[in-house]
Amino acid sequence: MNDTPNRSKQMNLMYEDLARAHASARAGEAQQRRQGQELVAARRLSRRAERAAHQSRLALGRAR
Domain ranges of the chain: 1-64
Q: How confident is the model at residue 2 (pLDDT cuts 50, 70, 90)?
A: low
How far apart CA 27 and CA 42 sit, in angstroms, is 22
How far apart CA 13 and CA 29 sit, in angstroms, is 24
The percentage of residues in the chain with a pLDDT greater than 90, rounded to a whole number, is 83
Mean pLDDT in the chain?
A: 93
Average pLDDT over residues 17-27: 98
Q: State the distance between the two ends of the chain, measured CA to CA, in whole angstroms.
A: 98
